Amino acid sequence: MPFHLYWGDDEAARSRAIEALIEKLIDPAWGSINLSRLDGNDAGQAAQALAEARTPPLGSGARVVILQRSPFCNQCPAELAEQLESGLDVLPETCHLVLVNPGKPDARLRTTKALQKLVKAGQAFEASFALPAIWDGAGQVELVQRTAQALGLRLEPAAAEGLSEAIGSDSARLASELEKLSIYAGTDAKGQTHTITAAAVAALVASHATNSLAVGDALLAGKPADAIALVDALLEANEPALRIVAALSSQIRGWLWVSLLETAGEQDVAVIAKAAGIGNPKRIYVMRKQIRGKQSGHFLKLLGQLLEVEAALKRGADGRDAFRDGFLLAPAER
* Overall average pLDDT of the 95-110 stretch: 92
**Same-domain check for residues 217 and 329:** yes
pLDDT of residue 74: 87
CATH number of the domain residue 230 falls in? 1.20.272.10
Residue 189: give the domain boundaries.
Answer: 137-204
Burial class from Cβ neighbours inside 10 Å (0-12, 13-18, 19+) for residue 41 reads exposed
Render pLDDT for 60-76 as a digit per residue (tens, 0 to 9): 999 999 999 999 988 88
Burial class from Cβ neighbours inside 10 Å (0-12, 13-18, 19+) for residue 144 reads buried
Count structural domains, the chain. 3
A 10 A CB-CB count for 206 gives 9
| 46-55, 178-187, 230-239: least confidently modelled range | 230-239
Q: How far is CA 57 from the centre of its chain?
A: 34
Render pLDDT for 257-284 as a digit per residue (tens, 0 to 9): 889 988 888 888 888 888 777 766 777 8
pTM of the predicted structure, to 2 decimals: 0.62
Q: Domain ends where: 204, 226, 247?
A: 204
Distance between CA atoms of 235 and 253, rounded to whole angstroms? 23
Q: Which of 73, 138, 79 is nearest to 101 (CA)?
A: 73
**Same-domain check for residues 10 and 115:** yes
**Same-domain check for residues 117 and 168:** no
Distance between CA atoms of 158 and 217, rounded to whole angstroms? 26
CATH number of the domain residue 90 falls in? 3.40.50.300
**Same-domain check for residues 62 and 141:** no
**Same-domain check for residues 199 and 314:** no
**Same-domain check for residues 25 and 119:** yes
Distance between CA atoms of 146 and 149, rounded to whole angstroms? 5
**Same-domain check for residues 110 and 11:** yes
50 to each of 2, 40, 61, 64, 91, how far by Cα in Å?
11, 11, 19, 11, 9
Helix %, strand %, coil % for the chain, to 5?
60, 10, 35
CATH number of the domain residue 175 falls in? 1.10.8.60
Q: Which of 135, 298, 187, 113 is nearest to 196 (CA)?
A: 187
